[in-house]
C-alpha cells in the first residue's frame, strides 16, 4: 500500500501538470491562432493519434497487464518486451500505408504539407513506443519527471516560436516534438534496463490475445481522437476549433481523475493474479467512492462557472464555447465512472470481451450521433453526441459487471447523495460572487478558493462522509509525522 500511495502521488503530480500547463498555454494559443488555426491543428492531430491507435494493435493495455505479471522474472520480461516491440514495428509499417491513403482522400480538409510531415514523423518514431513497459513495472516517478520536462520545454517553445495566425503549423510541430522526446527517452531507458533480442522471437503468439485489446483501443479512441475529425467532415474548421478547446478544457480536469487508473489497473491486475481478491475488491470499492466524491463537485463547478472559464482561458472569438462547457459538465462523472468499470474491473478480471461489446455498441451509436448532431447543431452537437456515447457505454459496462461479478461494490449511495447535496451549495455561492465581482478571472479564483474548502468541510463535519474522514486522518498523520521528523 505505501508504494501504491507513492505511485498515486506521482500520477497526480503528472495530472496536475496536465491541468496547470494548459491553463498557461490555452489563453495564449487561443488569442494568437483563433478558432480557424486551432481547428486545422486539431483535425490533423486527432487523425494522427487515431492511426497511432491502429498501429499499437492493442499492445498498450495487453502489454501493461502482461509486464505487471512477469516483472519479477527478468528472462520472461525481456522476451515479452522484445516480442511486443517487434509486433509494434510490423503493425506500424502497415499503418503508415493506410495513413497515406487516408491523407490522399482527405487532402482537401488538410491541405498543408507541413502538417503531414510532422504527423508522419510522429507515426514513424511511435513504432518504438514502449510506455506500457514503464506502466507495467509501475515506474511512475520516471514517467512523471520525463513528461514534466518535455511539457515545460514545449511550453517555452510555444511562447518563443508561435507569434501569429500563420504559425499554426509551428504549434503542431511543438506538440509532435514533445511527444517524440518522450518516445525517444523511453526507448533509451528501456535499452538501458533490458537486454532485448531479435532471435527466436514468437511475436505471433500474442496475436490471439491482443486482437481483443486492439479492437477495444480502436473503438475506445473513436470518441477521444475522431471527434474532431467527424465534426470537421460535416462542419467548418471554426466549429472544430470551438469544440476542440471546449473538450480540451473538460478533458484536462477529467484526466486528473481517469489517470489514477494508470496506477490502479496494473495494481488490481497484480492483486488478482496473486489471488488477493478481497484486497482487490476493497481497492475497487474505495475507488468507486472516490470517483463520486470528486466528479460531482467538479461537474457542478464547470457548469456554474462555464462563462468565466471561457472568458478567462480563451480569447473573445471563443465565447461560443460557453454552452459547450455546460453540456460537457457531465463528462467528468460519466467518463471517469465508465473508465473505472471498464479498465479497473472488466479488463483486470480478463473480461475484456464484454468491454469490447459495450464499446462497439456505444461507439457505433456515437458515430451516427456525431455526424447527425454536428451537421445540425455544429460544435454543440458534437458535445451532445460525446455525452450520449459515453453514457451508453457506461450503462452497458455497469450491466456486464453486475451480471458477472455481483459481489463487487460498484456504487456508494450515501456518498452520491452527500456529494450532490454538498455540491448544491455552490449555486448560491457562485451567484453571490457573480453579483459582487466583475472580473471573470477573479470570479474563478474566488469561487475555487471558497467552494473547494466548503465542499470538503461540509463532507467532513456535517455529512461525516467515511471516505473523507479516512483521508483526513491519513493526511493528519502524514503532516504530524513530517513535523515530528523536522523537529
Is the residue at 215 inside a domain? Answer: yes
Is the residue at 453 inside a domain? Answer: no
- Say what the pLDDT of residue 5 is: 61
Cα 137 versus chain centre, distance: 20
Look up the pTM and report it: 0.79
- Say what the pLDDT of residue 396 is: 97
E strands of 74-128, at which residues?
Answer: none
- Say what the pLDDT of residue 270 is: 64
Is the residue at 289 inside a domain? Answer: yes
Closest CA to 459 of 410, 421, 429: 421
Is the residue at 397 inside a domain? Answer: yes
Q: What is the mean pLDDT of each run of 10 residues along the chain (487 residues)?
A: 59 67 83 86 90 87 80 81 89 94 90 92 89 76 80 90 90 91 86 79 80 83 87 90 88 74 61 70 82 94 94 82 94 93 83 92 96 94 96 96 89 90 97 94 95 95 89 74 57
Is the residue at 67 inside a domain? Answer: yes
Range of the domain at 105: 2-411
Distance between CA atoms of 390 and 290, rounded to whole angstroms?
20
- Say what the pLDDT of residue 260 is: 61
Is the residue at 426 inside a domain? Answer: no
- Say what the pLDDT of residue 483 is: 54
Is the residue at 42 inside a domain? Answer: yes
- Say what the pLDDT of residue 479 is: 67
Is the residue at 430 inside a domain? Answer: no
**3-state DSSP of 360-425:** HHHHHHHHHHHHHHHHHHHHHHHHHHHHHHHHHHHHHHHHHHHHHCCCCCCCCHHHHHHHHHHHCC
How many domains does one find in the chain? 1
Closest CA to 186 of 216, 145, 224: 145
- Say what the pLDDT of residue 399 is: 96
Distance between CA atoms of 262 and 344, rounded to whole angstroms?
9
Amino acid at each position: 500500500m505505501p508504494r501504491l500511495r507513492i505511485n498515486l502521488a506521482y500520477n497526480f503530480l503528472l495530472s496536475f501538470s496536465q491541468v496547470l500547463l494548459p491553463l498557461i498555454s490555452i489563453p495564449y494559443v487561443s488569442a494568437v491562432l483563433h478558432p480557424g488555426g486551432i481547428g486545422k491543428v486539431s483535425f490533423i492531430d486527432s487523425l494522427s493519434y487515431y492511426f497511432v491507435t491502429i498501429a499499437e494493435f492493442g499492445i498498450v493495455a495487453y502489454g501493461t497487464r502482461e509486464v505487471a505479471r512477469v516483472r519479477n522474472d527478468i528472462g520472461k520480461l525481456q522476451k515479452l518486451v522484445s516480442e511486443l516491440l517487434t509486433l509494434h514495428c510490423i503493425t506500424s509499417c502497415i499503418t503508415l500505408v493506410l495513413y497515406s491513403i487516408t491523407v490522399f482522400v482527405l487532402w482537401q480538409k488538410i491541405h498543408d504539407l507541413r502538417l503531414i510531415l510532422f504527423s508522419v514523423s510522429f507515426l514513424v518514431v511511435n513504432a518504438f513506443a514502449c510506455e506500457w513497459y514503464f506502466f507495467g513495472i509501475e515506474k511512475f516517478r520516471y514517467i512523471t519527471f520525463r513528461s514534466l520536462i518535455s511539457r515545460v520545454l514545449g511550453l517555452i517553445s510555444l511562447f518563443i516560436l508561435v507569434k501569429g495566425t500563420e504559425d499554426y503549423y509551428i504549434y503542431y510541430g511543438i506538440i509532435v516534438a514533445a511527444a517524440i522526446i518522450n518516445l525517444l527517452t523511453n526507448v533509451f531507458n528501456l535499452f538501458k534496463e533490458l537486454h532485448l533480442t531479435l532471435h527466436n522471437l514468437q511475436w505471433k503468439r500474442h496475436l490471439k490475445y491482443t486482437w481483443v485489446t486492439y479492437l477495444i483501443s480502436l473503438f475506445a479512441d473513436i470518441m477521444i481522437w475522431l471527434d474532431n475529425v467527424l465534426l470537421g467532415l460535416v462542419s467548418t474548421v471554426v466549429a472544430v476549433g470551438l469544440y476542440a478547446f471546449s473538450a480540451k478544457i473538460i478533458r484536462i480536469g477529467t484526466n486528473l481523475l481517469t489517470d489514477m487508473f494508470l496506477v490502479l489497473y496494473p495494481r488490481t491486475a497484480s492483486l488478482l493474479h496473486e489471488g488477493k481478491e478481497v484486497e482487490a475488491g476493497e481497492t475497487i470499492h474505495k475507488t468507486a467512492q472516490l470517483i463520486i466524491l470528486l466528479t460531482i463537485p467538479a461537474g457542478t463547478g464547470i457548469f456554474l462557472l462555464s462563462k468565466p472559464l471561457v472568458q478567462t482561458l480563451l480569447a473573445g472569438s471563443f465565447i461560443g464555447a460557453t454552452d459547450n462547457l455546460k453540456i460537457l459538465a457531465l463528462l467528468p462523472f460519466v467518463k471517469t465512472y465508465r473508465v473505472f468499470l471498464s479498465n479497473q474491473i472488466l479488463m483486470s478480471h480478463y473480461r475484456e470481451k464484454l468491454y469490447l461489446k459495450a464499446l462497439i455498441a456505444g461507439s457505433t451509436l456515437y458515430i451516427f450521433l456525431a455526424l447527425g448532431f454536428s451537421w445540425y447543431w455544429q460544435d454543440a452537437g458534437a458535445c451532445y453526441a460525446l455525452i450520449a456515447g459515453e453514457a451508453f457505454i457506461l450503462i452497458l459496462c455497469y450491466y456486464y459487471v453486475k451480471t458477472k461479478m455481483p459481489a463487487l461494490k460498484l456504487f456508494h449511495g450515501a456518498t452520491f447523495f452527500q456529494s450532490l447535496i454538498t455540491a448544491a451549495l455552490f449555486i448560491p455561492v457562485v451567484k453571490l460572487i457573480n453579483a459582487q465581482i466583475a472580473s471573470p478571472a477573479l470570479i474563478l479564483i474566488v469561487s475555487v478558493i471558497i467552494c473547494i474548502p466548503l465542499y470538503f468541510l461540509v463532507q467532513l463535519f456535517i455529512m461525516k462522509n467515511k471516505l473523507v474522514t479516512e483521508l483526513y486522518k491519513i493526511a493528519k498523520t502524514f503532516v504530524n509525522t513530517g513535523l515530528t521528523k523536522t523537529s
